[in-house]
Amino acid sequence: MPAVIRTHLRGGPLVRSTTTNVVHRLPSSTDAEMIVSVAARTAIPRVSVFGSVQWLPNATAQRNPFTLYGASDLGESVRANAPTATVGASVSLVPAAVTNGWADLGVNVGDLFSQASRPGDASSYTHKLDLDLIGHANVFAWAPARTYLHRLNVFAILDYVATGLPRAGDEVPLGRRFVNDARPLSLITGLTLPLSPPVR
């Protein structure tokens, strides 16, 4: 699923420099994202389980989290391209059958295993509650049903990370204190490229 992610949809949080006492707002960012996902139906109607790996190939950071060398030390940008993983359950709110195969809508509840964000985190990756509203538009539904083109669709995910992000008063990284909570709402849009046909 090649995609684009837009962070801080409601505007970034305010942070204060502990050295200069200057307050500024963290900007929203737009990055390319690659998602590999697999899903399986369950015995419960409209409920499936899923797993996915997400990767931001071009995201940048101020410093390497492992060596702690910064971009200014290295003379180039630092890529924040470590992958993340999510596992959880999905509930179909509007199945494709209701729209004659043209669109569907669902919600995901997942465990996001991603980079640590709180001052007290004792590991480089932590578990976070991740909530998604996800929709697909089957823009190629007009193509013959047996063709690959017919199975392509455009998707949009409204993503909300409910736990594990910085809160007001947190100093992350050292020298930058959050004035208010992190803004965890993001929008991800892209194209689904199926690797295998759905099980009928």
Q: What is the CATH number of the domain that holds 86?
A: 2.40.160
Burial code (b: 16+ CB inside 10 Å, e: under 16) for 10-42 equals: eebbbbbeeeeeeeeebeeeebebebeeeeeee
Residue 198 inside a domain? The answer is no
Residue 197 inside a domain? The answer is no
Contact 107, 132 (CB under 8 A): yes
Residue 4 clears pLDDT 50, i.e. is over it = yes
Residue 113 inside a domain? The answer is yes
Residue 138 inside a domain? The answer is yes
The sign of the dihedral angle between the CA atoms of 196, 197, 198, 200 is negative
Residue 199 inside a domain? The answer is no
Burial code (b: 16+ CB inside 10 Å, e: under 16) for 83-111 equals: ebebebebebeeebeeeeeebbbbebebe
Q: Which domain holds residue 46?
A: 2-192
Mean pLDDT of 60-80: 57
Residue 132 inside a domain? The answer is yes
pLDDT of amino acid 156: 97
Rounded Cα distance, 40 and 57, in Å:
27
What would the pLDDT profile of 162-182 be if each residue is shown by its tens digit? 999 999 999 888 888 999 998
Portion of the chain with pLDDT greater than 90, in percent: 52
Residue 99 inside a domain? The answer is yes
Residue position matching structure tokens 């999510």: 86
Residue 83 clears pLDDT 70, i.e. is over it = yes
200 pLDDT band (50/70/90 cuts)?
low
Nearest to 192 by CA among 161, 137, 155, 147: 155
pLDDT of amino acid 21: 92
Q: Distances from the Cα of 73 to the Cαs of 29, 57, 154, 199, in angstroms?
A: 23, 22, 41, 52
What would the pLDDT profile of 27-65 be if each residue is shown by its tens digit? 888 889 999 999 999 999 999 999 999 998 877 766 545
pLDDT of amino acid 147: 87
67 pLDDT band (50/70/90 cuts)?
very low
Q: How many structural domains compose the chain?
A: 1
Residue 165 inside a domain? The answer is yes
